[in-house]
A and B are shown apart, each in its own frame.
Chain A
Amino acid sequence: MRRALVAAGLACAALVVLDVLLPRLLNPYYLTIASRIGIAIIAAVSLQLVNGFTGQFSIGHAGFMAIGAYGSAAASVYLGAGLLDGLAGVLPAPLARALYFPLPLLVGGLAAAAAGLLVGIPTLRLRGDYLAIATLGFGEIIRIGILNLDAVGGARGFSLASPAYPAIDLRFEGLGGIYAVVVLSVLAIARLVHAGGGLAFRAVGEDEIAAESIGVGATRVKVEAFVVSSFFAGVAGALFALSEGYIHTNSFGFTRSFEIVVFVVLGGLGSLSGAIVAAAALTAAPELLRGLGEWRMILYSLLLIATMWLRPQGLLGRRELSLPRWRWRSLRLGARRAPARAQ
Chain B
Amino acid sequence: MLAVPLLELSNLAVRFGGLTAVAGLDLAVEAGSLAALIGPNGAGKTTAFNAITGVYAPSGGSVRFLGREIGGARPFAIARLGIARTFQNIRLFRGLTVLENVVAALAGAERSGVRDLLRGRAWREREDSARARAVFLLERLGLERLADARANALAYGEQRRLEIARALATGPKLLLLDEPAAGMNPAEKHALRELVRRLRDEFRLTIVLIDHDVQFVMNLCERVAVLDHGEKIADGRPEAVRRDPKVIEAYLGSEAESA
CB-based contact A333/B148 at 8 Å:
yes
Q: Considering the chains assembled together, what is the distance between the CA atoms of A112 and B248 in angstroms?
A: 64
Q: Mark B99-142, 1 if CB is under 8 A from A, else 0.
A: 11001111111111111110100010011001110011001000
Is the C-beta of A214 less than 8 angstroms from some C-beta in chain B?
yes
* Pick from B79, B85, B132: contact of A340, CB under 8 Å: B132
Consensus secondary structure, chain A interface: helix
Chain A count of residues within 8 A CB distance of the other chain = 39
| B residues in contact with A209, CB < 8 Å | 55, 75, 87, 91
Is the C-beta of A332 less than 8 angstroms from some C-beta in chain B?
yes
Is the C-beta of B84 less than 8 angstroms from some C-beta in chain A?
yes
CB-based contact A214/B99 at 8 Å:
no
CB-based contact A212/B104 at 8 Å:
no
CB-based contact A206/B79 at 8 Å:
no
CB-based contact B131/A197 at 8 Å:
no
CB-based contact B76/A331 at 8 Å:
no
Is the C-beta of A63 less than 8 angstroms from some C-beta in chain B?
no
* Pick from B100, B113, B169: contact of A214, CB under 8 Å: B169
CB-based contact B79/A192 at 8 Å:
no
Q: Considering the chains assembled together, what is the distance between the CA atoms of A336 and B144 in angstroms?
A: 12
Q: Considering the chains assembled together, what is the distance between the CA atoms of A212 and B97 in angstroms?
A: 19
Q: Considering the chains assembled together, what is the distance between the CA atoms of A210 and B166 in angstroms?
A: 10
CB-based contact A195/B112 at 8 Å:
yes
CB-based contact A337/B95 at 8 Å:
no
* Pick from A200, A210, A333: contact of B135, CB under 8 Å: A333
Q: Considering the chains assembled together, what is the distance between the CA atoms of A34 and B111 in angstroms?
A: 37
Smallest Cβ-Cβ distance to A224: which chain B residue: B113
Q: Considering the chains assembled together, what is the distance between the CA atoms of A202 and B95 in angstroms?
A: 9
CB distance from A146 to the nearest CB of B (A): 28
Is the C-beta of A218 less than 8 angstroms from some C-beta in chain B?
yes
Q: Considering the chains assembled together, what is the distance between the CA atoms of A198 and B147 in angstroms?
A: 18
CB-based contact A214/B104 at 8 Å:
yes
The verdict on A228 contacting B127 (CB below 8 Å), with A191-B119, A216-B108 known, is: no
| B residues in contact with A216, CB < 8 Å | 76, 104, 108
CB-based contact A215/B131 at 8 Å:
no
Is the C-beta of A220 less than 8 angstroms from some C-beta in chain B?
yes
CB distance from B78 to the nearest CB of A (A): 9
CB distance from B199 to the nearest CB of A (A): 17
CB-based contact B116/A213 at 8 Å:
no
Is the C-beta of B93 less than 8 angstroms from some C-beta in chain A?
yes
CB-based contact A206/B95 at 8 Å:
yes
CB-based contact A218/B76 at 8 Å:
yes
CB distance from A231 to the nearest CB of B (A): 10
Q: Considering the chains assembled together, what is the distance between the CA atoms of A343 and B140 in angstroms?
A: 12
* Pick from A188, A217, A228, A331: contact of B103, CB under 8 Å: A331
**Which residues 189-238 in A have Cβ within 8 Å of B in the complex?**
191-192, 195-200, 202-203, 206-207, 209-218, 220-221, 224, 228
Is the C-beta of B170 less than 8 angstroms from some C-beta in chain A?
yes
Further contacts, 14 of them, CB under 8 A, given A217-B76, A228-B114, A336-B131 = A196-B127, A197-B110, A197-B113, A199-B96, A200-B104, A207-B94, A209-B55, A209-B91, A214-B169, A215-B79, A215-B80, A217-B111, A224-B113, A333-B147
Top 9 A-B pairs, shortest CB-CB distance: A197-B112, A215-B108, A212-B75, A340-B135, A214-B105, A206-B93, A199-B104, A210-B91, A215-B79
Pick 11 A–B contacts, CB within 8 A, sort by A.
Answer: A191-B119, A196-B103, A206-B93, A212-B74, A213-B79, A214-B105, A215-B79, A217-B76, A224-B114, A332-B99, A333-B147
